[in-house]
Chain A
Amino acid sequence: MVSDGTVTRAAPEEAAAEALGLAEDVLGRAMRVGATEAEVLVTTDDSALTRFANSEIHQNVAESSRTVNLRFVAGKRIAVMSSGRTDVEGIRSLVNRASAVVRTCEELEDWAGLPKPADGPARVPQVAAWSEITAGATPELRAEAVRAVIAAADAAGVNAYGSFATSAEAIAVANSVGIRSSQSRTSSQLITVHMSPDGGNGYAEAAATDASTIDAAALGREAAAKAKASDNAVGLEPGDYPVVLEEYAVVDITDYLGFLGFSALAVQEGRSFYEAGRKVGSDLVSVVDDGGDAAGLPMAFDYEGVRKQRVPLLERGVCQGIVYDSQTAARAGTVSTGHGLPAPNPYGPFPLNSVMAAGTTSREDLVAGLDRGLLVTRFHYTNTVHPKLAIITGMTRDGTFLVEGGKVVGPVRNLRFTQSYLDAIAGVSAVASTRKTLKGFLGSAVVPAVRIDAWTFTGATEH
């Protein structure tokens, strides 16, 4: 009898314990073949994604994977081996190759050693990171949600394009100086672009630990309404305009500031704008990195097994803190904040759970406060032009509107901007009282919409 693909899934605690057991097994083998220190990261992932375009499902995928990442240390020589082969022979090969390779590596003079449990509690606190519904999501459940998005598009006479992803993963870290961390997490994300025959585009997105909290029909209606509202957009001369940025655009700002500025490695290499106590944003801008905030996609510990600390990055516009992994922390004479990525990591630590404080302004009043400016739904293909000044270029996308006298007067064609994100947060004059949970390029983010007094648009396109 053939299978329909159903998997008997372990309980989250069992999955985490199984991952930790494998990590400890590999760790023991590494120590027995001569490692002076070792760290093992095990990641197992069951994920699926249903993708739609032209209001039909056109790609629909699932994967089951497991990866072992071994950081093998011999004195100050370090080699990292990873493998997707986790049978006995695969593990034996992994450990033996690491043992052989490490002896050919150069010493890392300032190697500080693996993080110890003293860097954080040996047992990390549990965070609300698991949903049975997400973990058990079936192809049929995802298709049902997609049909709801498409129905909203049909009702508005537009087409739907997007994806609905669900995943369940277990992460475990064991090292030779006592770290034992394990956790099971789920996440889900639905995004949709709606496109109208008359040229209008709209967008909506939601991310959550629990897929059942994502209202697919409501997201479909939001994107459809935006697409219809942006029909027959007209050209607008580039220049400086006040803007209201929706949450989908704001996440790009928090991500880039985290990427360029709030990483200890960027600071140590002198390429960050960050200086403790430097005022870079308006009083209305406060951002923390908080892996324990249930409003985001929580994460109890980092990829070195170190408990995630809540790190204030910006407090009322003032640079307050940066995030560390074990190596950058040792170089700075401090302890890791729990923001390490899988070894080897030449990129440095990053804030992966940004949370921006809500303000007191309603979404309606953000726009009502614009005398003449633009309402921007989101950005597209942003990239760094100048890292220390945080100058970014990119395009607007999926709904850009001219606002006059506090009211939306009509859609405009997409514009290119070349804008310092530091100047942008310095110009924040209002912050929305509500926030959305989204996925950015650096992880999850909880962000409000904002009003910014000046934004520099430097070019235009044809749609």
Chain B
Amino acid sequence: MSPDTSEHRDLTDRALNTAQALGASYADVRVVRRREESITVKTGKVEGVALGETEGFGVRVLVGGAWGFASSHRLDLAEADRVAGLAVRIAKASATALRRPVVLDDRPPAHGTFATPVEEDPFRIPLESKIADLLEADKRASSVKGIVFTESMYAAQREWKTFAATDGSFTEQTITHIGSAVEANAIKGDEHQRRSYPDAGGGYRAAGYEFIRGLDLANHAERYAEEAVELLTAPQLPPGRRTIILDPSQLYLQIHESCGHPTELDRVFLTEASYAGTSFLTTDKLDAGFRYGSDLITIVADATAPHGMGTFGWDDEGVAAQSVPLIQNGILVGYLSSRETAPRIGRQSGGAMRADGWNRIPLIRMTNVSLMPVPGMSLDDIVADTDDGLYLASNRSWSIDDRRLNFQFATEVAYEIKGGKRGRLYKNPTYTGITYEFWRSCDAVGDASSWVMLGTPNCGKGEPGQVGHVGHGVSGARFQNVQVGVGKW
């Protein structure tokens, strides 16, 4: 099923040669073919079965220290010439408004192949079998009295990617991601409550269909649906400052928004300012050993982690996958970086440049940004250790300011904790804070027995827009004195 390598070699050679002949000091080219498959079931009806395929190539060039990029869906040598020529012309236009010529670090040329380990190839499982699995889960959720509508989804994506550069690099990768979810919605009057399994937006991994079987959607669907109905009559979470425990299904997004994004070095250098924003984690804080969180907080960006959607062999600049410490025992120690940005802080690229397909340039993206487990207490132990608090699970909304300081999240559910036991539900829970104050308030992190690899296939960044697949390993954690119950209800 892999593309014809020799055909791509001709095309990559041609594009690189043309770019160099026209004056590029550096060029790289990616040929990408992506296959996607999705199923959507709503309230027992198969609303959508979609299969998609896209392929093309993109050429990125440096001319006079300025970048140019062009791409096309036509895979032929004449088009390789045209696109490489256009990329050079664009770079020359860039050079008319250039103040800091680009300098890349010296990584060794990249060679080799990588493939996501897959036990059951999702594209070889009969479609009707996958539909049947999803329908069964959806029907169990929609059978619960009080459920108004359900939505269940399955999605798989495989990408074949060839990378070549003028330094002789040539790599080929096959990356497979898969996910699924069942969601139950209960509505009464102005109240709309939702519960999702395994979490809002779906459970995703770099894996095969064995991951979907392991989720066992059907046997969880009813319980989650019942909870959605129960939430309709649950009390509104009152405002106050509380001890909160975040379930992995919420904590992964907290890490994503308040650690992953602000440690992207392009944001630190303001090159995403016009769209996603910048970062409060400026490089002076790296030099000063800024205290980002409590001693319990160690966060790494690990592109080698099993099952993570940020796992690969090489990034889209040909930098080998690696594990980069971001926060070590609460102290800022590193960034997600690229060949262009890392030298500006005296380092080598940490290999975090990733592109959303053939028609987008690589940007600094999260790989698998994970909170490392802390020996001592499992997540259940942390609950048992909490006398008075709240347990929040599964994200419902997220928002954070343009420097990643003031955040506010809503979750699908909050459980009251009294005397170390989870009790009654609260509806419409929200919590808010300032990033470093929040992470400094962490006084318990779950151990390895509670640690799971989660992630999102829906991380937006860049102009034109790109959607990234990223992973987050997490075990749950407890935070003190957090403002909850925001707004007027």
Q: For window 27-55 of chain B, which residues contact chain A by CB distance below 8 Å? A: 40, 42, 45-55
Query: A residues within 8 A CB of B159?
Result: none
B66 to chain A, nearest CB (A): 7
The tally of residues in B whose CB lies under 8 Å from a CB in A reads 92
B86 contacts the other chain (CB 8 A): yes
| Stretch of A118-126, A159-167, A279-287 that contacts chain B | A159-167
The answer to whether B71 and A64 have CB atoms under 8 Å apart is yes
> Is there an interface contact between A83 and B397, defined as CB atoms closer than 8 Å?
no
Please state if B93 and A57 are interface contacts (CB–CB under 8 Å): yes
Contact of A418 with B487 in the complex, beta carbons under 8 Å: yes
Cβ-based interface call for B430 (8 A): yes
Is the CB–CB distance between B40 and A346 below 8 Å? yes
Digitize B58-98: 1 where CB-to-A-CB distance is under 8 Å, 0 elsewhere: 10000000111111111000000111111111111110111
Q: Are A82 and B487 in contact (CB under 8 A)?
A: no
A49 to B68, CA, bound (A): 11
Chain A contacts for B270, CB-based, 8 A:
53-54, 159, 161, 195
Chain A residues closer than 8 Å to B127, beta-carbon distance: 101, 104-105
* Interface 1/0 per residue, A434-463 and B, CB below 8 Å: 000000000000000000000010111111
Chain B residues lying within 8 Å of A82, measured Cβ to Cβ, are 50-54
Identify the stretch in B184-192, B219-227, B298-306 within 8 Å (CB) of chain A at 4 or more residues.
B184-192
CB contacts (< 8 Å) of A456 on chain B: these are 487-488
> Does B420 count as interface, using CB distance less than 8 angstroms?
no
Interface centre among A101, A388, A459 (most CB of B within 10 A): A459
Tell me which residues across on chain A come within 8 A of B21, comparing CB atoms. Answer: 2
Given contacts A54-B99, A57-B66, A385-B397, contact A84 B274 (CB under 8 A): no
**A56 cross-chain contacts in B, Cβ below 8 A:** 97-100
Q: How far apart are B250's CB and chain A's nearest CB, in angstroms?
A: 14
Please indicate the chain B residues that have their CB under 8 angstroms from the CB of A79 in the complex.
Answer: 49-51
Quote the shortest CB–CB distance from A103 to chain B (angstroms): 9
- Assess whether A380 is interfacial by the CB under 8 Å rule: yes
> Considering the chains assembled together, what is the distance between the CA atoms of A58 and B50 in angstroms?
36
B463 within 8 A of A: yes
**Which of A161, A344, A384, A419 meets B49, CB within 8 Å?**
A344
Closest residue of chain A to B359, judged by CB? Answer: A63
Q: Are B274 and A2 in contact (CB under 8 A)?
A: no
Q: By the criterion CB–CB under 8 Å, are A62 and B90 in contact?
A: yes
Q: What are the residues of chain A within 8 A of B104 when measuring CB–CB?
A: none
Return the contact of B98 from the options A57, A94, A140, A165 (Cβ within 8 A).
A57
CA of A64 to CA of B69, assembled, Å = 12
Please, how many angstroms separate the alpha-carbon atoms of A460 and B486 in the complex? 13
Beyond A65-B56, A388-B191, whether A57 also contacts B487 by CB under 8 A is no
* Whole-angstrom distance between the Cβ of B155 and the nearest chain A Cβ: 12
A84 to B74, CA, bound (A): 9
- Assess whether B348 is interfacial by the CB under 8 Å rule: no
Cβ–Cβ contact A385 & B90, under 8 A: no
Chain B residues contacting A4 (CB-CB under 8 Å) are 22, 85-86, 88-89
Whether a CB of chain A sits under 8 angstroms from the CB of B459 is: no
Q: Chain B residues near A52: list those with CB within 8 A.
A: 97, 274
Segment touching B, from A26-34, A141-149, A351-359, A360-368 = A141-149
List A contacts of B73 (CB < 8 A).
64-66, 84-86
Tell whether B296 is near chain A: CB-to-CB under 8 Å: no
Which of the 9-residue segments B368-376, B400-408, B473-481 touches chain A?
B400-408
Q: Are B91 and A60 in contact (CB under 8 A)?
A: yes
**26 A-B residue pairs with CB within 8 Å:** A4-B86, A4-B88, A5-B87, A51-B463, A54-B99, A54-B270, A57-B96, A60-B68, A81-B50, A106-B46, A109-B45, A138-B93, A139-B68, A139-B89, A147-B97, A163-B274, A269-B148, A344-B40, A346-B42, A380-B402, A381-B277, A382-B399, A414-B406, A416-B401, A420-B488, A459-B486
Sample of 12 more A-B contacts, CB < 8 Å, known A101-B49, A143-B94, A382-B399: A51-B463, A55-B99, A57-B96, A82-B52, A83-B53, A101-B51, A104-B126, A109-B45, A140-B93, A195-B270, A269-B187, A344-B40
Interface residues in chain B, defined as those with a beta carbon under 8 Å from any beta carbon in chain A: 18, 21-22, 40, 42, 45-56, 58, 66-74, 81-94, 96-100, 126-128, 131, 135, 148-149, 151, 185, 187, 190-192, 269-275, 277, 280, 359-361, 396-403, 405-406, 408, 410, 428, 430, 432, 434, 463-464, 486-488
A interface, CB within 8 angstroms of B:
2-7, 47-67, 78-86, 94, 97-98, 101, 104-106, 108-110, 138-140, 142-143, 146-147, 150, 159, 161-163, 165, 191-193, 195, 269-271, 273, 343-346, 380-389, 391, 393-395, 397, 414, 416, 418-420, 456, 458-463
